[in-house]
Amino acid sequence: MRPDEHERVALELEKVIRDTQTTIDQAEAHGLDKIMHDDYDRLLDILDRSIKRQREHTLAMLKDDS
């Protein structure tokens, strides 16, 4: 991938991260994290994987830019 493609993916992942964090915050505010364990765990997994992938793309972008 070219650096600009890595940047585009990292920015899209930022949207996923923000949206997922908002959903997690809302779930916690309504107590859904306690009654819908599996769904809450899936949200945490999405957040974790998105953050890791964003980091990979950011590092690749910086590496290609040097």
DSSP per-residue codes, the chain: --HHHHHHHHHHHHHHHHHHHHHHHHHHHTTHHHH-HHHHHHHHHHHHHHHHHHHHHHHHHHHHH-
Span 3-43, pLDDT tens digits: 899 999 999 999 999 999 999 999 999 999 999 999 999 99
What pLDDT shows up at residue 53?
A: 98
Q: How far apart, in whole angstroms, are the C-alpha atoms of residue 3 and residue 45?
A: 27
Token pair listed for 16: 């996923």
What pLDDT shows up at residue 60?
A: 93
Span 50-63, pLDDT tens digits: 999 999 999 998 88
What pLDDT shows up at residue 65?
A: 65
